[in-house]
Amino acid sequence: MSDLNTAMTAKYRNNFLKEVEANVEEGEWVKMCMQCGVCSGSCPLGKHWEHPPQEIFMMIRAGKRDDVLKSDSMWMCTSCYNCIVRCPRELPITHIMHGLANYAKRMGLAPKSQPTNQFSQLFWDNMMKKGRVNELKLGLSLYFKDGFGDGVKNAMANQQLGMNMMKAKRMAPMEIIGGHSLKDVSGFQKMIKKAHEIEDQNIQDFS
Amino acid sequence: MAKKEYSFYPGCSSQEGASSSNYMVSVATLCQELDIKLNEIPDWNCCAASIGYGGGGELPRLALSARNIALSEQHNAGQDIVATCAACWLSTREAAERFQHNKTLYEGAQTALGEAGLKLENNTPVRHMVEVLIEDIGYEEIQSKVKKPLEGIKIAGYVGCQTNRPFGIDGESYENPLYLDKMVEAVGADSVPTYEKKVQCCGGALAFSEPDKSQEMIKGIIEAAYDHGADMIATPCPLCQANVEIYQDQINAKYSTKFEMPVVYYAQLMDVAFGRNGKDSALDRQIIKAKKLDDIAK
Amino acid sequence: MADDKKFAGFICTGCGIGDRLDGGRLETTAKRDGKMQEVKSSEMLCNAEGVKMIQDEIDGGATHVMIAACSRRAKVEAFNFPTVAMTRANLREGVIWVRPDTDEHRETTQEMADDYIRMACAEARSMKAPSPSGEQELNKHILVVGGGVTGMSAALESAAAGYPVTLVEKTGALGGHLAQLYKKSPGKAAPRGLPNALDAEFPGLEDTGVEGLIQQVEENANITVHLNSTLTKTQGAPGRFKAEIATESGSTTEAEFGAIVQASGFTPYDANQLPEFGYGKSPDVVTNLELEKLAKEAAGGPIKRPSDGKEVKSVAFVQCAGQRSEKKGHLPYCSGFCCTTSIKQAIYFKEQNADCDTTVLYTDLRTPGAAGEDFYRAGQQKMVTFSKGEVSEVAADGGLKVKFKDLILDEDTEMDADLVVLATGQVANTGPDPYAQLAFEEAEEGSEEKETLRKALEVAPPSILNLEYRQGTDLPLLKHGFADSHFICFPYETRRTGIYAAGPVRRPMDIQQARDDAAGAAMKAIQAAENAGKGRAAHPRSGDLSFPTFRSEGCTQCKRCTVECPFGAINEDEKGYPVYNESRCRRCGTCMGACPVRVISFENYSVETVGQQIKNVDIPDEFDEKPRILVLACENDAYPALDQAAMSGVEINPWARVIPVRCLGSVNLSWITDSLNNGFDGIVLMGCQKGDDYQCHFVRGSAIAHERMSKVGDTLESLNLEPERVAVYEVAITDLERAPKLINDMAETIDKVGMSPFKF
C-alpha cells in the first residue's frame, strides 16, 4: 500500500483521537464536541486562528495529526476561558488548547518562531531559575529573543514604558542582579524535575 | 486579634518592585481598615499563570500549585488560601479541583512533592480576595466604613476574564457579573453596569507576545469606558490593570487616540473612601494618575 | 308553534357600555325593532344577580334570549343557557372598545350598537335551540388497524380505559417494524442533575420490549386480534361504524365500532433509488433496517459484512440518504428517527468492539425526544465519530469509498469503510388518495383527465379502510403522502370524523413518539365514540348539538354538498339525495354554503339566521355619507383576532357590521347578493389560511370559500358594482393589527369608489 493510501485509510479513524486522549491534557473530552462552533465565535482572538477550536476538534477526529500539531492556532489562546463557560457540552477547551500546544512542542512539531510559543518557554525557564518570575529579566529576554540587534530595538521602543514603570515603583532595576527568590530553590527544582519524569513515562507511543 | 485571618498567596507580580506592587500596597491598607490578617504562605512559588504551558506539561504545572497548597497546609493550617491575583487564584483552585477528580494526577503530584519533602492534603478552600470582601465582609460593612464617599466619580467596572471565568464570583453571570459595580456603588461612586466590555479579554499574557492583537482589544476596553462617560476604570486583576493602563501611550501613537484613562484596583477605591491618603492607597504608583481620587485622598 | 315562542332581551350596561351608549335607546331598539317581548337591563349582567335575572325569565317561559353585552367569546360560563336559543350582541369588543370616546363619534357609535342589537334580535327570531336527533347510540368498541408498536399501544391504551378493542393486522404476526429491530434507542433522558463527567452514565441501548408488548395485547381480555386480516368494507359513522374483517383465507367477520384508529405505519424507503450511494452495487451497502437484520444475526457477536462474511472493522453511516432532498425520487422531508437510529447502530459496533471505527456523516444531527441529546453523548463517549459532511458518492468498486464534503473543514475528502449504512426514511403506509378517486368519478368519460387519473389510481397502494364513503375509500392525504392531520393544532384528527391516524402514517416518527401518538389517538377515538353517543359534535365544535338537515322537496340533487363536505360526511342515496351522517359531521356549514337552493340548515345557524342579521342592519340614505360594510369573520380565528384587537384598543371604522360565521366555507353566496342589493357598500370576508399549511379548522372551508368568491365578480358586474367592493382574506388569530386594518381599508376603498347606489 502506498503512503498516500495509508494516509487515506487513516482518515476519519480514531487513531489520532486516541493519541490525543492518551497524551494531551483533558484530551478525553475532544470526542464530546458537538461541533456547534460557539467556542470559535466566543474567542476574543477568533479571527486570528487559522483553525478555530471547533475546526481543531474536527481535524483531530478526521485524523489530521500534522495539520493540528504544526498549527499555530492553539498558541492564539489568551486563556480568557470564554469558550469553557459557553460550551454547551462543558468541554475544558482552554486546557485542551494548552495541552495540544504543549504536546505539539513535545513532538517537536510546534512552530518554533511562534511568539507565544517562545514567550511561554521563556516564562517557564525564567520561573524555574528562582521559583518566582523575574519580570524585568522576562521582559528583556523577550526583547532579545531574536538576537541582540532586535533586542536593542525592542528595548528602545519600550523604553518609555519601562521608565514609567520604574517611576511608579512597579519595576526595580536592581532585579537584574539576583531578585526575588525562593529559599528552597533546589527542592523546588527537584520537584519539577520529578513531575517531568512522571509525565514523560505516561506518554504513550503512537508512532 | 484580627477579626479574620487567611493564608495569603500574593504572587510574583505583587512583590515589591514588580508590576502590581500597587495592588499589594492598596490591599495591605484595605486589610488594616477591615481588620483582616493575611499570613503569607512561606516560600510560595510561581503558579506559571496561564502561559507556562509551553514549558511545563500538565503535571509540572499542577505541581507548582500543589507545593503552594502543601506549604499553606503545613504553615497556615486551617486557613483558607486567599489570592489577590486572578491567575494565581485560578491556577491554584484549578489544580486543587483537578487533583480531586483525577487520582493519577494527584498521586503524581504527591510523588513530585516528596522530592521537596512536602505532602498535600488538598482540603483547603482557595479563594479570591473579592470573595472574602463579598462573602465574609459584605457590601454593607464596606459601605459602613466609608468616610469620604467617592461622589460624582463614574467608574467602569472592568472584571476581565479570570476572576470571572471559569469559576465565577458569588454565583453571578459570566456574561454580566455585577459584583464590581456593587463595590463601586458601596464606596459612593457611580457604576456602569451596562459597560459592554466588562468581561472582554485584554490579551492577558499575549500582551507581551502578540502586542498588536492585544492592544486592539485593550483599545476597545478603554474606548467603551469613554463612551459611557467613565472617569476611570476599576479592576480586580493585576494583569488587566497593567495591560489596560500601561500601553495607552503606545495605543495613542498607533491609533491616534488620546487616551488618558486611569485604571485602578477596587482596593484603591476603598482605601480612598475609607479616608486613607494617596500613598497608602498606592495612588502614587499610577502611571496614569487618577486625579479625582487624588483630590479626595489629599 | 309560533305562539310558544317567547323572546327576551337583556342589556348589560357594565364595562363602560352604559357610559358610552344610551341604554334607554338600546332598550327601545330591542323592543321596537328587535321585537323582544321583554327587555331588561343590568349594570353587570354577568354577575350572579344578572344571570339569575335571565334564568328567572327562562323559567318563566322565555324560549329565545338575546344578550347585548360583551363578545360571544367572553363570559361563556355565565351566559350558559343550553335549553334556549341564545344570541349575543357584541357591544363591548364590537362597539365601544373599537371607537373613540369623543362627542363627535357618539352618534355613529350608538348607531353601531343599535344595529348589533337589531341583528342579534333578528338572529334569535330565526333560530331554534338545538337538540340531539336521538338517532345515536353509544358504541364503546374501538377498531385499531395495524399491529405494530402504534397499533398495539393504541389497543392497550383503549383497553386500559375500559373500551374493548378489535385489532386488525394484515401480516401473520404482531410487532411490525419493532419486531425487526435488534435493540431500541432509549426512551428516557439521563436523570436530572447528572454531572457532566466523561464517565457519566447516559442512557444506552434498550431491549425492544416487543415480546412483552405482544404478550400484553394477546393476554388482554378486552382486545381481540385478527392476524392475516384486512378491512374489506367499512361503513357508517362514529358510534355506528360497521366493518368487514376478512382473513387471507377468505373468511369474513362483521363487527360494529364506535371509532377507529388507523395505525398502518410506514414502508421503508426504497434504497434502490440511491445507486449513487452504491446501493445494489455492493452488498456491503445496506439500509438502516437491513443493518438491524445483520445485528440480530450477529446476536451480540461481531457484525459481519454481507459480501464475504468478514468482521466489520469500519463502518460509515450516511445520514439523510434519499431524504431532505428535492431530487426526483427522494423524500423531501426529514424522517426524524434516523439520526438516533444511526447512533444506536454505531453503538452496536462499539459495544461489540471498541476499536471498530464508526463514523456518522450528517449535515444536521437531529435527535428529537427527551433522551435524544443524552443518547448522542452516549455515542460520543464510546468514540463514535460524528462528522458534519455531505456525502456525494459511495464508490463500490473494490472496497467501499465514501466521498463527501467535510462541512466543518470545508474540503472534499473521502474515507474507506467495510460497511456503509444508509440512513433511509419512512414512507407513509396510506391507502389511495380519496380525492383522486372522487376526481376520477367526476371526470368526463373518455377525457384525458380521466385517463391520467385512471393510470395514477392503478399504481396506487391498495385501500386500507375500504370506506364506503361518497368521497373515496381512505383517509385524505396531506403533505408528502402522509394522512391528513394538522400536526400542531389538531394532531390525530383526520378529515374522516371518528377515524384517527396515529404513528408514522401521520408523520414520520420514532418508537417513543409512536407510543405517545397511539395514546393520543386512542383518547381521541374514545372521545369520538362518547360524543357520537350523545349526538354531540367532535372537534372543533366540541359538544355542539346542532346538525344539518335539508328540505328534500327543494333539493335538486346537484351533489355540491356531497362533493364539497371537507369531511366526506355526506353520502348519496340511489336518487342522488344527500344522506347526512350526523356524527361524521363537524358542523362547519360548508354544505350550507354550497347549496345553491338554500335547503340546508342547522337549527341555530342557517341561511336565514345570517340573512336576517344582514337585512336588519339599518342602511342610511346614500346622501348621509354613512356607508355600511359587512364583515363575515370566521369564528375560530378572525373573530377572536378582532376581539383581541379591541382589547388592545385598535380602532375600527363605525361603518363595519361584523357577523361571525362557523367557517368561511359556510358563507352562502345569497348573503353576498342580498347585502349588495340591500345597499351595503362593501363586504369583507375573513377566513383562515388555506392550502397545504392550512390553519382552517375545517381543513378545506377557507379554500372552498375562496374558490366560490372568485365567482362573485359576475354578481357585482350584473349589479354594475365595482369588483373591489368584495374582498376575501386569510386572517390568522394573531393578526391583531391587520384584521382591523383590512376592514378600515374597505372604508377607504368606499371613499374612493363612492357609495353604493342600492340604498332604498
Per residue in B148-159, pLDDT (tens digit) is 999 999 999 999
The count of other CB atoms within 10 Å of the CB of residue C170 is 18
Place of cell 375500559: C162
What CATH number does the domain located at C619-760 have? 3.40.50
Q: Which residue in C355, C377, C409 is closest to A62 by CB distance?
A: C409
Work out the minimum CA distance from A87 to partner chain B, whole angstroms.
11
Note the pLDDT of residue C622: 82
Inside any domain, residue B82: yes
Task: pLDDT band for B12, please (50, 70, 90 cuts).
Answer: very high
Closest CA to B19 of A181, A161, A154, A145: A161
Report whether pLDDT(A2) > 50. no
Task: pLDDT band for C2, please (50, 70, 90 cuts).
Answer: very low
Among A53, A82, A110, which residue terminates a domain? A110
Report whether pLDDT(C37) > 70. yes
Helix (H) or strand (E) holding C380: helix C372-381
**Gap between the Cα atoms of B176 and B21, Å rounded:** 29
C-alpha cell at B281: 492607597
Chain B contact probe: residue of A127, A138, A161 with most B CBs at under 10 A: A127
**Gap between the Cα atoms of B293 and C164, Å rounded:** 85
Is A85 near chain C, with CB under 8 Å? no
Chain A contact probe: residue of B40, B50, B53, B58 with most A CBs at under 10 A: B53
Considering the domain architecture, whether residues A90 and A121 belong to the same structural domain is answered as no
Helices C511-534 and C149-160: angle between axes, nearest 10 degrees: 40
Residues C261-275 pLDDT 10s? 999 999 999 999 999
Query: Cβ B19–A188 below 8 Å, yes or no?
Result: no
Mean local confidence (pLDDT), C101-108: 96
Task: pLDDT band for B282, please (50, 70, 90 cuts).
Answer: very high
Note the pLDDT of residue A5: 47
Considering the domain architecture, whether residues B78 and B200 belong to the same structural domain is answered as no
Mean local confidence (pLDDT), B60-71: 98
- Show residues of chain C in contact with A35, CB under 8 Å: 386, 388, 408
- Show residues of chain C in contact with A54, CB under 8 Å: 408
Give yes or no for a contact between A106 and B187, defined as CB atoms under 8 angstroms apart.
Answer: no
Interface of B with A in 7-46 (CB under 8 A): 12-13, 15-22, 43, 45-46
Specify which residues C660 forms β-bridges with: C633
Q: Which residue in A80, A121, A202 is closest to B55 by CB distance?
A: A121
Q: Is C488 left (phi over 0), alpha (psi -120 to 50) or beta?
A: alpha
Considering the domain architecture, whether residues A65 and A149 belong to the same structural domain is answered as no
- Nearest-CA residue of chain A relative to B43? A182
Report whether pLDDT(C1) > 50. no
Three-state helix/strand/coil letters over C610-657? HHHHHHCCCCCCHHHCCCCEEEEEECCCHHHHHHHHHHCCCCCCCCEE
Closest CA to C631 of A184, C622, C559, C645: C645
Report whether pLDDT(A4) > 60. no
The percent of chain B in helix, strand and coil, each rounded to the nearest 5, is 50, 10, 40
Work out the minimum CA distance from B174 to partner chain A, whole angstroms.
7
**Gap between the Cα atoms of C174 and C422, Å rounded:** 26
Note the pLDDT of residue A7: 53
**Gap between the Cα atoms of C727 and C745, Å rounded:** 10
Considering the domain architecture, whether residues B220 and B191 belong to the same structural domain is answered as yes
Query: Cβ B208–A82 below 8 Å, yes or no?
Result: no
Helix (H) or strand (E) holding C455: helix C448-458
Mean local confidence (pLDDT), C651-665: 97
Note the pLDDT of residue B2: 67
Note the pLDDT of residue C759: 84
Q: Out of 3.40.50.12780, 3.50.50.60, 3.40.50.620, 3.40.50.300, which CATH number does the structure's domain C268-426 have?
A: 3.50.50.60
Stated pTM of the model: 0.90
Q: In Å, how far are A199, B25, C204 from B282, measured between CA atoms?
A: 43, 6, 60
**Gap between the Cα atoms of C550 and C562, Å rounded:** 12
Task: pLDDT band for C692, please (50, 70, 90 cuts).
Answer: confident
At C314, which amino acid appears? S
Considering the domain architecture, whether residues B152 and B292 belong to the same structural domain is answered as yes
- Beta-sheet pairing, C629-634 with C600-601: unpaired
**Gap between the Cα atoms of A137 and C741, Å rounded:** 76
Tell me the average pLDDT of chain C.
Answer: 95
Q: Which residue in B67, B214, B285 is closest to A170 by CB distance?
A: B285
Considering the domain architecture, whether residues A97 and A128 belong to the same structural domain is answered as no
Fold agreement (C142-265+429-534, C268-426):
yes
User: In C139-204, which ranges are E strands?
Assistant: 142-145, 165-168
Query: Cβ A98–B209 below 8 Å, yes or no?
Result: no
Percent of residues, chain B, with pLDDT higher than 90: 98
**Residues near B272 by Cβ (< 8 Å), separated by ≥ 6?**
B148, B150, B187, B278, B281, B283, B293, B296, B297
Chains A, C: CB contacts within 8 A come to 60
SS3 of B109, please? helix
Task: pLDDT band for C485, please (50, 70, 90 cuts).
Answer: confident
Residues A31-77 pLDDT 10s? 999 999 999 999 999 999 999 999 999 999 999 999 999 999 999 99
Of the listed ranges B287-291, C75-79, C706-710, the one predicted with least confidence: C706-710
- Beta-sheet pairing, C499-501 with C259-262: parallel
Could you give the strand order of the β-sheet that contains C64-69, starting from the edge strand earlier in sequence? C38-42, C7-12, C64-69, C85-90
Task: pLDDT band for B109, please (50, 70, 90 cuts).
Answer: very high
Q: Which residue in C385, C408, C415 is closest to A54 by CB distance?
A: C408
Burial class (CB in 10 A: 0-12, 13-18, 19+), C33: middle
Considering the domain architecture, whether residues B169 and B60 belong to the same structural domain is answered as no
Report whether pLDDT(C3) > 60. no
Give yes or no for a contact between C334 and C323, defined as CB atoms under 8 angstroms apart.
Answer: yes
- Show residues of chain A in contact with C413, CB under 8 Å: 11, 62
Inside any domain, residue B137: no
Is C414 near chain A, with CB under 8 Å? yes
Report whether pLDDT(B64) > 80. yes
**Gap between the Cα atoms of C447 and C550, Å rounded:** 34
The domain in which residue A99 lies consists of 3-110
Q: What CATH number is attached to the domain comprising A45?
A: 1.10.1060.10
What fold, for C142-265+429-534?
FAD/NAD(P)-binding domain (3.50.50)
Chains A, B: CB contacts within 8 A come to 218
Chain A contact probe: residue of B26, B47, B161, B206 with most A CBs at under 10 A: B206
Note the pLDDT of residue A8: 53
Inside any domain, residue A207: no
Give yes or no for a contact between C439 and C454, defined as CB atoms under 8 angstroms apart.
Answer: no
Note the pLDDT of residue B279: 97
- Show residues of chain B in contact with A115, CB under 8 Å: 209-210
Residues C603-627 pLDDT 10s? 999 999 999 999 999 999 888 899 9
Residues C558-604 pLDDT 10s? 999 999 999 999 999 999 999 999 899 999 999 999 999 999 999 99
SS3 of B104, please? helix
Tell me the average pLDDT of chain A.
Answer: 91
Triad B190, B196, B200: Cα angle to 5°? 115
Is A12 near chain C, with CB under 8 Å? yes
The count of other CB atoms within 10 Å of the CB of residue C669 is 17
Give yes or no for a contact between C323 and C362, defined as CB atoms under 8 angstroms apart.
Answer: no
Tell me the average pLDDT of chain B.
Answer: 97
Interface of C with A in 226-255 (CB under 8 A): none
Task: pLDDT band for A147, please (50, 70, 90 cuts).
Answer: confident
Whether the bond into A173 is cis, omega within 30 of 0 = no
- What ipTM was predicted for this assembly? 0.96
